[in-house]
Structures are given as structure tokens and as C-alpha cells.
A and B are shown apart, each in its own frame.
Chain A
Amino acid sequence: MVTTVKEGWELVVGLEVHVELVTTTKMWCGCLTHFGEEPNTNICPVCTGQPGSLPVVNGAAVRAAALIGLAINCSVNETSQFHRKNYFYPDLVKNYQISQYDVPICSEGHLELEVEGSPVTVGIERLHMEEDTGKSTHLGGSGRLHGADTSLIDYNRAGVPLMEVVSHPDIHDAETAQAYVRELQGIVETLGVSDARMDQGSMRVDANVSVRRPGEPLGIRTEIKNLNSVRSLGRAIAYEAQRQIEVLEDGGEIVMQTRHWDESTGRTETLRVKETVTDYRYFPDPDLVPVHCPADWVDEIRAELPELPAAARARLTDAGVDEAQAAALVGTSGMLAAFDEAVATGADPRTVANWLVGDVAGQLSTAEVDFADSGITGAHVGQLVALVDDGTLSNNLAKQVVEHLVADRGSRSPAVVAQEEGLQQVSDTDELQAIVDRVVADNPDTVATIRDGNTKAIGALVGQVMKETRGQADPRATNELLRAAITP
């Protein structure tokens, strides 16, 4: 069940998602896009807007944008245009942002989502390319530009390619908004064009939220910024919807404004009131010729589209993997590839999914290691499953093997781990027979009890055998040998 707003009201949400593309170089120059370097090291005359410098479009960014556009079912426009969005801000080097306006690279698409078990379609108005700005640090005062003693600007991020995906206002609950963002994240990750990390700012989501009585025209909207996780997005939408409903029910009016989500208080607060619509004086950038995406080029790109998350999930459930596990396999970076690799070794898909989503993911989560960084491969998982299947490992031993895989980042294969750590199951009958004979001889009272009909007492003897073998005895073989030894 999705969270509904108060009865008699309808929530309307549109999302603007900015995605920083992981091209090697920036949008208009040859500077690297590396994240986290010393301030103002990846800069040049172009990305610092030196007088006389000119932008040149990065073909890799255009390609990435077209890929994403196709993946979200948009059409790629044969000709698109860069416009200048004019406004003054210190971190904006030219005091205009090069963006796209009336002819974006991609138009009209949609995402098909599954929200709480039901299919939902969210329409996408457009996808356009633009450039990122620099990053300001304000010292003194409130930590914002206004009132600061000193402001420092790092232009490493200036000119990094950005893509903005604008949805139609088709979203009516917080869960759909969250599912939409997760799906977009999955798509750009699958395409390898962005890290899409909301916590690091490589994916930034602004939510336009309004409420109305069903059937009435759209209400006045507010724009919520500073959403650092999918969870914050859901909380912020729910909070803002409730706030607007309360204002309207008390006879008040919603003011068009930008609101800042405060994660610690769980509230949205006014950032700035838009008294008038800002006039950005958009006009075609005379420094840049139109972008051409000919139909045959688009076809080429389309042919290179990898399997997208929705298709991958369908394939997994068709193979018998349950839906939640399929979602986890597809939604965890690197896990789907590992799954496919393991299954290719002949392992049962359901068993592989169980190991990956169960123990492997669980122990990695405890160790706070991402699967992608774990060193655990599909070949490892395939071998693990094979070792269980042929009786070399019991389930319990296999779990211990996984612990070792996690601890030493997959540097040894499961077979090597089992051997070097002495985790192989003892199913050698001669060896086991000797231990069983010794246990039977050492516990005459228990043997007598069993012989008197208390068969459950055999468990104590199995425990003894396990203790002697440090847990490596094959439980089934142990049981059989014990019964044979006790039966007169």
C-alpha cells in the first residue's frame, strides 16, 4: 500500500533529476572531471570563463545523453540547440549557464515502474544537457553566501556535464517518486554514464509538489531542494503535502517558492520566495552550432543499449528467482553480472540468488563493504554452490567460507578457502567409522538409553562426533553410522 495523503486531496509531484555524467573530460574543455581533488586544479581558460575562451561540445556527453534518452523511451531529436540561461551568481563562471531550452536533445518518454506490486507509468517531458557550476564555500556568517565574511570558489566542478530529466507531473504518492528515482539510478548505472550518488551530489533531485482537490486544476507548487537520499525524497514529499493541505484547509494560500529540506528536523523550510518568475533571457548560444543526432547514429546507439533494469528483473523472475531477490540483484551494483557468471557455471539460478542476496549481501552489509568492491565474483559463487552440491561443504561450512571471502576480499576461491581453513566435510567412511566407534565406546549409558527406545538421545552422540570433527562430519553419514553401531 502506498502512503496516501489526507482524504479529499490529491498529491501532484513532478521531478527534475540532475545527473552528473562520468565522462573523462568536461562538457566544453579537456579538463578532467575527477571528483575530490584539490580545489581549482582541474581548470582551464574555458571552464573558468576567461575572456575570449569558447566552448566546444564533448561528444561523449552527447552520446551519454542520447543513451539515457533512449533508455527512458524518449525520442532523440535530430537537431537540438544550446541556449544561454542568463543569471548572476558567483559560482557561475560566465554568469550564464549553457543549457538547452526549446529544443532539448531528447523529448517525451516514460518509465514503467512497479510500486508496491502495481504497475505505474510516469511520463517524461524531456532530457536536456547542461553544465555544472563551481562550488562555493562561505566562511563566517550563517555559512551561506549572504552574510559570509569570505567566500571561496572551487571551479573543479564548473563545466562538468550534467543531464536533466524532467518528468511530467504524473506522480501522486511518495513511493512512486522514490521508485522513479531508483529506476533512473539503476538505468544510468547500468549504462555506466553516472555514479548517480545522491549523497555525493552526482544525482540531484528537485521535487515540485502541489496538492489539489481531485478534478480541480493544478495547485500552486513549491520546489523542494537539498534531498540527499531517496529516503529524504519520500519524507520531504509526505511532509510538504501535509503542510500544504494544512495551509489550504486553514484558509491560507500556497506561495510559489523554493523550500529547503532539513533532514534533521524532518521539515521543509522557505529558501526563497519567487515573487516573479525569474527572467533567464534564454537565447540560442551563438558560440555553439546546433547538435546533430542523425537517425542512423541514433540507431547505432540504440543497438548498443545494454539490458536495462526492468528487462533484467523480468528475465530473473522468469528463471524462478523471486521478485524481491530479482530487484536486489538488479539494484546492487555488480551483482547481476556476478549472478549471470555463476549461473553460467551450471549453478541453479535460485540457489545462486539465495547466496548472493542472502549471506553474501548480509555479511558484506555487516562489514560495510559494497558488493562492487568486495572482490567476490560470479565464479566464486558458482564454485561455492558446486561444493555444497557435491557434499564437500555443508550449508554451515559454506557460510563460514563466505565469511572468509568477505574478510579477504575474494583473494582466495571457495575451494582454496575450504582446503586451507580445513573446512571440508568429513565424509570419508573409514575415518568417520573410527570416530563413531570411539564415541559409542565412550558413552555406554547413552547407548543403553537409545537401545531402551529413547531414539532422540542419538542427538547427543551426533553432537559428540561433530565436536570431535570440529563440525566437519557429514551429518547424514554420521547418523547412519551411529545407528548401525548402536543397533545390536
Chain B
Amino acid sequence: MTSDLLTDTAAGLAARMAAREVSAREVVDAHLDRIEATDGDGTSDTDVHAFLTVVADTARRHADDVDQRRVTGRDLGPLAGVPLALKDLFTMRGAPTTVGSRILEGWVPPYDATVTEKLRAADVIVLGKTNMDEFAMGSSTENSAYGPTRNPWDLGRVPGGSSGGSAAAVAALQAPLSLGTDTGGSIRQPAALCGLVGSKPTYGAVSRYGMVAFASSLDQAGPFARSVTDAALLQSVIQGHDPRDSTSIDPVRVGRDLPDLLADLDAGVEGLTIGVVTELQGEGYEPGVLAAFEDSLRRFEALGATVVEASIPHASYGLPAYYLVAPSEASSNLARFDGVRYGLRVDAPTAEEMNAATRGAGFGPEVRRRIMIGTHALSSGYYDAFYNQASRVRRLIANDFATAFEQVDVLVSPTSPSVAFPLGDKTDDPLAMYLNDVATVPASLAGVPAVSVPNGRGAEGLPTGLQVMGPLLGDDRCFRVARALEADLGLDPVPSGANAVAPA
């Protein structure tokens, strides 16, 4: 019974709860037990360490409340009672939000993120807050100030990042759903490395209010799940206009509703034109990753899609542009962590010295590196060559996408150039780490939606992912294509292998 609750999909659990075959409390307890059994505190090399905080009591109370309301016949949402792991970057009253950093250690936010509010309104039950690279800066979750998270497929490897905790929690069967954030690939890459579905919505489809900012013009919240349907269900819950976020898409102003992610989910790919991005394959991608990708393309053709070559001519400038724009915004966004109002304060005789001591002690090396890069890129005399030039490249890439979508319905590429790599492999080489984002960054810069879906097994039998990119507000199309591949492949999302997390 218990293992069955853990491996079921969110949609499956919701249906069983609605039919009163199982209670929300039982579902929540099963997952809390699984966390207890597998997560640890990161000190042992068998600890998944997906969670930084578990809010067991709150989760149980919420589950009991859902069960009670169901008894009274109240109409509950499609994901009511389903447990979820929340990246520790969304504010939630009553629990600390650390963003994986020492500088916010002990901070309990005085308000809920819009996403947190929407989850509660939908009766999705938050189990806890998940580990992440500090301030979402990283691709392996090794930059967390609270120790790394391990990949449930191979506990010696990274889960990807920065939303590695959220990915690992779902892969380790600790939760059927989780939320992450994606700035340059922080949902898609860990989804690929953990054999999950992960979606980065169209920029502005999900409110950023209450998401601790890394790079405001790129940050976007999105779901992790073990099925495309589950991911689409969760994204449906969190998307929508928010008057508290001026960059959130207002359907009235754009004259267009946010997409219905479920209506055509199972419509298949027959008749669709799928563009293969020439610039996002080949050199630098592992043979196993490329083999899985080729196999997916053959499957799409067999399913009735037309597969064509497509080009994002400026894609190769995406990575350098991203690594100027994102740090520039971060250097300003992270200025508020100064020891004056919240979080860590290292006392010193003057305000300036207190600021410096606090920031020196509170920020890890990767965060400090990016603040310095960003500060430099915005400095007088360098602004044009760096920040401004990067912004121009960004506009060119957005134009490239718009042009490509005149010819094709979606674009595809491998999500990540490699499968999960061993812990410590790239920690001394920031540039090697940055290359993980090569395929995911272009869609981020263009603001277009992208979904990563498992598409096979690469080296060591580890999962690989395929990225489906759509036009602005074409999130529904990305899910539809991902769903067709998922159905055709029929992969088991439960980790297997010699070094995998213990079975349920």
C-alpha cells in the first residue's frame, strides 16, 4: 500500500483521494516517512538531502483539514491533498527561507509568495523546503551552504541544479510534485539529470512575487513531476496574472489568455513540425545523450510529425550573454543582504564594515564571483561592452526564436550535454559548470517556454532529457509534444541501478 502511494502520480493520488480510497493524511504520512527514511541531513553519503526544512506538523494539519472538507462534500481542486516539495526560494510564512545561503540563515519571511498562496488555495500540501545552489547560482546543488543534494539514480552523483533538491525529492519518491525556479536551466537540467519532467513556463506566466530574486528578467517558477500530465496540472495551478508582479502577463493587456495546458495534452504530434536546433547538438554533447536524442527524433517521425533542421543563429552567444545579464542583475538584487534588516549580521564598528563583514561571511564563493562579475559589467566604462552588448545579443536571440517559430511548431534539443556527473567533478572549474547550461540558456534569454522530458538512458544507465521549446505562451504545445514522447517511450521514472536510492 505505502510503496504504491509513493510511486503513484499526482493525478493518480488525487483521483484515489477524490474516490475516498485513501485519505490525504495517509498520503502525506507515507511521504513524510519516505523523507525520514531516505533524506538524512547530508552527513552520510546515502542521504539524498533534498530538504532543508520539513514542515511535518503543518503538512499533517493541512492534510487533516483537506480530509475533513472532503467528508463534508466540499468541491476540492484537482490536486487537493497531493504533497509537494517547495524550493527554498519561495517565501512561506512560518518556516525559514534560506535560498541555500548562510546570509539568510534564520530568516522567517513575514509573507507568502503568490505561488505559495496559490498552492494553499488549491490544497496542495507543502511538505517542506528544498535544497538548492546558493541564490540559484549553480548547476549541481553543490553551491548550497547546507551541503549538496545527491542524485537518487546514483547517490555519488549530482542531481543538477540549481533546483537539485526539488528534483531529487520527486525522483526519490519523497513527493510526487515539486516546484523549482529556472533562470538559465535550473529546472530543465536537474529534471533531465533526475529522469523527470520539468517545465520553465513562458516568462511572466507565473508570478515572481515572493521568489527571492537571482536575475529578475530571467527567473521563472515551474514544476517537477514524474509525468507530463502531473507537471501540466501543477503549472495550471501556479500560473496566472498577479497584480503584485509588474512583469506578470496580463491577459487583458496582451489580449490573450494564458494557455490551457490540459485541453490538447494528449492530442499527439501528428501534423506538427518539429525543428531540431542545429546549434544545440554535436560537439560537447555526450554520445549517449546524442543517441537518445536521435532516437527521440525517429520516434517523433514515426508518430506522424515532420522533423526539420532549424536554426537559432545567435545561440552560441547565449552562454556568454547569459553570464553577463544574470550576474549584473544579481549584483543589484543581492545588494539588500547587508545585515541591516534581516538574516545574518556580523557586527563591526561602522555600518560599512558591518556590511562588508556580513556579506563576506554570508555569501559563498560562487555568489561572490557573480556579484563581482555583475558589478564590473555594470560599471561606468564597461557597461556598453558588457551589459549593453549582452542585452543586444539577448534581443537577437529572441528574434531568432520568433523567426524559427514562423516555420516550426516547436524546437527541440538535448536538455543537458551530459548525464549526471559525480559530486565534486566540476566544483573547481566554474567554466565547465557553466557549460551545463549551454542548451537551456537560449530559451531563458528569449523568455519562451521549454519543457524537459525524459527520453532514454545515457552513460551508466543514467537518465537523459529532451528539451521542447515553444513560442511565447506556447507552453501547451511543449507539454503536448513532451507527452507524446513520454507515452511512446513508456520509461519507468523510479530510479534503478546499483547506486540508486533505496526502493520504496
Residues facing B in A50-81 (CB within 8 A) are 50-57
Given contacts A52-B210, A54-B208, A57-B246, contact A151 B351 (CB under 8 A): yes
Of the candidates B90, B208, B247, B380, which one forms a contact with A281 in the assembled complex, judged by CB atoms under 8 Å apart? B380
Given contacts A279-B380, A287-B216, contact A49 B244 (CB under 8 A): no
Contacts of B379 in A (CB 8 A): 279, 281
Write the chain B residue with the least CB distance to A283: B378
Given contacts A281-B380, A283-B328, contact A52 B340 (CB under 8 A): no
Bound CA span A84–B333, Å:
10
Contact residue range for chain A?
A: 20 to 34
Is A281 touching B246 in the complex (CB atoms < 8 A)? no
Contacts of B245 in A (CB 8 A): 54, 56
Contacts of A54 in B (CB 8 A): 208-209, 244-246
Write the chain A residue with the least CB distance to B113: A52
Of the candidates B215, B216, B335, which one forms a contact with A95 in the assembled complex, judged by CB atoms under 8 Å apart? B335
Given contacts A95-B336, A281-B380, contact A51 B351 (CB under 8 A): no
Contacts of A44 in B (CB 8 A): 111
Of the candidates B209, B215, B246, B338, which one forms a contact with A88 in the assembled complex, judged by CB atoms under 8 Å apart? B338
Count of interface residues, chain B, beta-carbon cutoff 8 Å: 46
Write the chain A residue with the least CB distance to B91: A52
Tell me if B212 counts as interface (CB < 8 A to partner A). Answer: yes
Contacts of A50 in B (CB 8 A): 91, 109-111, 341-342
Q: Give, as a whole number of angstroms, the nearest-CB distance from B498 to chain A.
A: 41
Tell me if A145 counts as interface (CB < 8 A to partner B). Answer: yes
Given contacts A86-B378, A146-B350, A286-B217, contact A55 B335 (CB under 8 A): no
Write the chain A residue with the least CB distance to B343: A51
Residues facing A in B221-276 (CB within 8 A) are 243-247
Q: Give, as a whole number of angstroms, the nearest-CB distance from A281 to chain B.
A: 4
Is A88 touching B355 in the complex (CB atoms < 8 A)? yes
Contacts of A55 in B (CB 8 A): 246
Is B110 touching A90 in the complex (CB atoms < 8 A)? no
Is A52 touching B212 in the complex (CB atoms < 8 A)? yes
Is B351 touching A90 in the complex (CB atoms < 8 A)? yes
For A54, A57, A86, the residue with the greatest tally of chain B CB atoms inside 10 Å of its CB is A54
Contacts of A281 in B (CB 8 A): 331-332, 375, 378-380, 383
The interface bits of chain B over 202-215 (1 if a CB of A lies within 8 angstroms of the residue's CB, else 0) are 00000011111101
Write the chain A residue with the least CB distance to B208: A54
Residues facing B in A288-318 (CB within 8 A) are 288-289
Bound CA span A286–B380, Å:
19
Tell me if B293 counts as interface (CB < 8 A to partner A). Answer: no
Is B110 touching A45 in the complex (CB atoms < 8 A)? yes
Contacts of A204 in B (CB 8 A): none
The interface bits of chain B over 361-405 (1 if a CB of A lies within 8 angstroms of the residue's CB, else 0) are 000000000000001001110010001000000000000000000
Q: Give, as a whole number of angstroms, the nearest-CB distance from A144 to chain B.
A: 11
Bound CA span A279–B341, Å:
25
Bound CA span A52–B97, Å:
10
Q: Give, as a whole number of angstroms, the nearest-CB distance from B430 to chain A.
A: 23
Bound CA span A145–B216, Å:
32
Bound CA span A53–B380, Å:
28
Tell me if B329 counts as interface (CB < 8 A to partner A). Answer: yes
Is A90 touching B209 in the complex (CB atoms < 8 A)? no
Tell me if B352 counts as interface (CB < 8 A to partner A). Answer: yes
Bound CA span A153–B338, Å:
14
Tell me if A462 counts as interface (CB < 8 A to partner B). Answer: no
Tell me if A94 counts as interface (CB < 8 A to partner B). Answer: yes
Q: Give, as a whole number of angstroms, the nearest-CB distance from B283 to chain A.
A: 33
Bound CA span A257–B337, Å:
30
Tell me if A93 counts as interface (CB < 8 A to partner B). Answer: yes
Tell me if A25 counts as interface (CB < 8 A to partner B). Answer: no
Bound CA span A95–B332, Å:
8
Bound CA span A31–B335, Å:
23
Write the chain B residue with the least CB distance to A276: B380
For B104, B335, B337, the residue with the greatest tally of chain A CB atoms inside 10 Å of its CB is B335
Tell me if A239 counts as interface (CB < 8 A to partner B). Answer: no
Contacts of B338 in A (CB 8 A): 88, 90, 95
Bound CA span A286–B336, Å:
16
Given contacts A50-B109, A95-B338, A146-B350, contact A283 B332 (CB under 8 A): yes
The interface bits of chain A over 195-206 (1 if a CB of B lies within 8 angstroms of the residue's CB, else 0) are 000000000000
Tell me if A96 counts as interface (CB < 8 A to partner B). Answer: yes
Given contacts A51-B109, A52-B209, A281-B332, contact A289 B247 (CB under 8 A): yes
Is B109 touching A52 in the complex (CB atoms < 8 A)? yes
Tell me if A190 counts as interface (CB < 8 A to partner B). Answer: no
Is A45 touching B111 in the complex (CB atoms < 8 A)? yes
Is B341 touching A48 in the complex (CB atoms < 8 A)? yes
Is A286 touching B97 in the complex (CB atoms < 8 A)? no
Tell me if B445 counts as interface (CB < 8 A to partner A). Answer: no
Contacts of A282 in B (CB 8 A): 378
Is A288 touching B335 in the complex (CB atoms < 8 A)? no
Bound CA span A48–B247, Å:
20
Contacts of A53 in B (CB 8 A): 111, 209-210
Q: Give, as a whole number of angstroms, the nearest-CB distance from B220 to chain A.
A: 12
Is A283 touching B209 in the complex (CB atoms < 8 A)? no
Q: Give, as a whole number of angstroms, the nearest-CB distance from B482 to chain A.
A: 29
Given contacts A45-B111, A88-B338, contact A286 B378 (CB under 8 A): no
Of the candidates A57, A90, A94, A289, which one forms a contact with B335 in the assembled complex, judged by CB atoms under 8 Å apart? A94
Q: Give, as a whole number of angstroms, the nearest-CB distance from A152 to chain B.
A: 11
For A49, A146, A277, the residue with the greatest tally of chain B CB atoms inside 10 Å of its CB is A49
Is B247 touching A286 in the complex (CB atoms < 8 A)? yes
Chain A residues close to B by CB (< 8 Å): 44-45, 48-57, 84, 86, 88, 90, 93-96, 145-146, 151, 153, 277, 279, 281-283, 286-289
Kindly list 13 other residue pairs between chains A and B, CB separation below 8 angstroms, not including A52-B208, A54-B208, A281-B331: A45-B109, A50-B342, A51-B99, A56-B246, A88-B355, A90-B351, A145-B351, A281-B379, A283-B328, A283-B332, A286-B216, A287-B216, A287-B246
Could you write out 11 A-B pairs with CB less than 8 Å apart? A45-B111, A49-B336, A52-B89, A52-B113, A52-B212, A93-B336, A94-B335, A95-B335, A279-B380, A283-B378, A286-B216
